[in-house]
Structure 1
């Protein structure tokens, strides 16, 4: 499965990850129907075969100068940041935001390809009304606020020199826990095992969207580019007002103190979790996920929740992995906050 550079496709080759075709993996990830996942080289990005077959559609998108692209590793503040960016770009139109769901207002480019949406729709498994195709995204009016979980090398080559890009990084410990619960919730990537097994698959880069440090360090290395703003989830938790001001300044869209206070209140976790425009409750009820009040799309939003999940042995394993990958990068993460 090849995508050579210079022909309108990213210069990567996708190959099936052998272990994802074997037990115990194929039994623990039944949504992939024993077909496993594929890995892009160079870069190592792990994805569904459906993405590999369609990656050129995203790579060849026409980037606009007034675009805002939100990039994250999954479960790292994607929804939070895209809602803020959309509101800031649209003069804090809270009424408009309430009328149209965030998946429509700020679509996720790679959401179409984490599995075969069309197949499930044909079976009547769930309603795909809030999935926006790349062709539809190309026709959206400006300014567009788009989001994705892809590394730069799978995105349009002129993206960073053309549009504003916001990258949000979350400490990997909490990102792992949140992605585990995501796999428990969403039927497109169902995982039936325990957290300890999931951590092993994650650190071995056998989970969708891994390697974690592949996307984070990819963005970190470009942090001096004037069109790139790097935010940290933990800074947003600690002082959301300051980060709203940073986003506003970066996007050249001034907000008043009154608007800032409304934005702060709008994205409080307790209110966000109940906001059907952003919490994917409608999609989950339609069959995209499991209707489980103990595991919702918008969860705790806490920094340090990993302490309630990792055994000392697992935590040491993750610490060693983090230390190895951050060596010499200058990047550091906050993994605990006292007040949040």
Structure 2
């Protein structure tokens, strides 16, 4: 057991607990799994190489961090924030790059270690971007971490880490946009994502996936604790807390709030255009077309059967996905973990 700069103890998963993870998430097999306590945050063992580097990451006053638990509207918010800050007139040629090239995923390197993923070729756009941004740097020291460091100002950076594992001066120095989504839709979306991406390669049942969630045993650990850490700091001037459901139902009003928070000073006309440009259908139309490159890191069978990364993007997609028993199980989880600190999610558009 080792300790980190953030004060967490790193505890390796062993025995039946590890074997269960590796059996159901075959993308994690042979990598090792660890928990960060307190909090029971669950990671692939390669994350330990980056934990202290991330905690000590030099933040800047011009930085904006998009922070969410997985599948809470992260990619959508990345595109919105980057567009508002860097492409308000929709004429920036950089917009043609994948969003993770413009808004690096700070801890993504741990997810690139899976043996089910092909090592990126030198002509891979991600590697070309890395070589251009980080000339002479060693990719084994973290492609996305080093791209985050080298990103020209103003930087917009994404993370799924809880605030307790991010730089302690982040909210004093930089701006953080935190996005929360109702847990019933989160589970359905994360289940699809975990089946789709080979880095996870979930092969278990939906019933078991729900059990992983309520047991706080999914990658990144307890959703409720991740929420709680941000919710308790929502009044701080450098944190902007957004609900996914509000961003869907009242997009322009939420963009206006973001405009004030980010101090981007955009006009109503610019915000209207950005709203359309970052709508689900528009972003889906710009998404990668399944093919050879997609098959390097996605399960193409899942794409053809159930959809790709941009699947539905709706509020209430969970309806009809849970058996009555599973719905009781997740309702009990909500009652136990969320009611105590006052978050009331919207579970449908009605």
TM-score, normalised by the number of residues in structure 2? 0.88
Helix, strand or coil at the partner of 2:326: helix
Runs of 5+ in structure 2 lacking a partner?
A: 131-142
Deviation by residue 1:166-190 (Cα, 9 ceiling, x = unmatched) = 1000000100000000011000011
Partner residue of 1:3? 3
1:295 is displaced (CA, Å) by 2.3
1:289 is displaced (CA, Å) by 0.9
1:140 is displaced (CA, Å) by 1.3
What aligned pairs does 1:1-340 form with structure 2 within 5 A after superposition? 1-4=1-4, 9-18=5-14, 19-23=16-20, 25-95=21-91, 96-116=93-113, 120-122=117-119, 127=124, 129=127, 132-276=143-287, 285=294, 287-291=296-300, 292-293=303-304, 294-338=306-350
- 105-114 vs 33-42, greater mean Cα deviation: 33-42
Deviation by residue 1:53-102 (Cα, 9 ceiling, x = unmatched) = 22112111110001000000111010111111111111415233432221
CA contact (8 A) 1:63 1:159 kept: yes
**Against the structure 1 CA distance between its residues 203 and 136, is the aligned structure 2 distance closer, same or farther, given a 3 Å change threshold?**
same
Q: Distance in 1 between matches of 2:108 and 2:292?
A: 13
Helix, strand or coil at the partner of 1:306: coil
Q: Distance in 1 between matches of 2:341 and 2:272?
A: 36
1:136 is displaced (CA, Å) by 2.6
Helix, strand or coil at the partner of 1:217: helix
1:115 is displaced (CA, Å) by 4.6
Helix, strand or coil at the partner of 1:143: coil
Partner residue of 2:135? none
Q: Distance in 2 between matches of 1:283 and 1:111?
A: 22
CA contact (8 A) 2:106 2:159 kept: yes
Helix, strand or coil at the partner of 2:340: coil
Helix, strand or coil at the partner of 2:151: coil
1:138 is displaced (CA, Å) by 1.1
Q: Distance in 2 between matches of 1:11 and 1:283?
A: 43
Structure 1 residue ranges (4+ consecutive) displaced by more than 4 angstroms after TM superposition = 117-124, 279-284
CA contact (8 A) 2:171 2:238 kept: yes
CA contact (8 A) 2:67 2:159 kept: yes
1:267 is displaced (CA, Å) by 1.8
CA contact (8 A) 1:48 1:115 kept: no
Helix, strand or coil at the partner of 1:207: coil
TM-score, normalised by the number of residues in structure 1? 0.90
CA contact (8 A) 1:248 1:255 kept: yes
1:20 is displaced (CA, Å) by 3.5
